[in-house]
Amino acid sequence: MKTAKSQKDRLKYILIKYHMFYIMMMPGLIFLLIFKYLPMYGLIISFQDFNIFSGVNGSPWVGFAQFQRLFQSHEFYQVFRNTLLINVYKIVFFFPIPILLAIMLNEVRITVFKRSVQTIIYLPHFISWVVVSGMMITILSPNNGLVNIIIKIFGGESISFLMNKNYFRSILVLSSIWKEAGWSAIVFLAAITGIDMELYDSAKVDGAGRIKQIIHITLPGLLSTIVLMLIMRLGRLLVGGVDQVLMLYNPVVYEVGDIIQTFVYRMGLGKSEYSFTTAVGLFDSVIGFILIISGNKVSKNLLGKSIW
């Protein structure tokens, strides 16, 4: 009883002492509760033949029938493959770029130039995918787009990039890099500022140049952050950037560009397949959960670093 009372008193003390921090947390917690946890109630329709007029309580239960349909669907395997490939490409080609940007910016010694470059590369993050997609469509236009004008100048023929299955995934990756790489570099820049400057001073005394300092001090200092960001990225391996794809793709490139989220959008809202698309979303979430747990475990075993 005494131990329980002391723990209760300690909890009360902590709540009183840090009450302002808990008050500041409340909006975020309320947001998570309303928009992340309460909607989970709707997952039960993935086990029903949901009818919008009958509602959740009036719709018949069908067990795992929606999941059986999911695993037997050739179309789903296609969108699953597309989602996986697009995100793997983004990890391979996108993920290293913010790290390189952060390291290069850290090496810039002219403050005005450094801040100007930071501002320029951060700005695209604040541009809506609707606007970015409009820019991409204009630049890649087969008639008067800038890229095709340059191709024609060198004697080539006009290419319909957004209607070509060979180019579509590359366009998604490149446009993602242009829009988000600068913003993603902020995390790594912040991590670099946390590295002890005495390490660099000691390295200079030992005769290490900038390249060696980056290899032996900056990169090891960034390792924890890199692992954290990579694990979080693995958890979103089946989230392909629905806004971006939805704005850029068309029926001609469905075969290579249709991802799980756009598939859910088309089937759920377009064909009112609410139960089936909820089953797809649940499958997506479970796979993401498994990936993030596995990534954390592998990182902990191999590198001794993990989120938890």
Residues 31, 90, single domain; the answer is no
Question: Which residue pairs from 69-73 have beta carbons closer than 8 angstroms and sit at least 24 positions apart in sequence?
Answer: 69/276, 69/279, 70/276, 70/279, 70/280, 70/283
- The pLDDT assigned to 239 comes to 77
Q: Which residues partner with 48 through β-bridges?
A: 61
Range of the domain at 169: 46-303
Residues 108, 24, single domain; the answer is no
Distance CA 58, CA 48 (A): 10
Residues 29, 51, single domain; the answer is no
What is the band of 4 on the pLDDT scale with cuts at 50, 70, 90? Answer: low
Residues 102, 26, single domain; the answer is no
Phi and psi (nearest 5°) for 212?
A: -65, -35
The CA-CA-CA angle for residues 176, 159, 166, to 5°, reads 55
Query: For 8-12, 43-47, 129-133, 243-247, which range has the lowest pLDDT when averaged over its residues?
Result: 8-12
Q: What value does the mean pLDDT take over residues 52-58?
A: 86
Domain total of the chain: 2
Q: For the whole model, what pTM was predicted?
A: 0.83
- The pLDDT assigned to 195 comes to 87
In a domain, residue 308? The reply is no
- pLDDT tens-digit readout, 167-207: 999 999 999 999 999 999 998 998 998 888 888 888 888 88
Residues 14, 134, single domain; the answer is no
Residues 65, 105, single domain; the answer is yes
Give me Rg for the CA atoms of the chain.
25
Q: What value does the mean pLDDT take over residues 150-166?
A: 90
The CA dihedral of 149, 153, 154, 160, to the nearest 10 degrees, is 20
Position 48 pLDDT exceeds 80: yes
Could you tell me the maximum CA-CA distance found in the chain, to the nearest angstrom? 87
Q: What is the 3-state secondary structure (H, E, C) of 73-84?
A: CHHHHHHHHHHH
Q: What value does the mean pLDDT take over residues 207-234?
A: 87
Distance CA 288, CA 160 (A): 34
In a domain, residue 121? The reply is yes
Residue type, 137: I
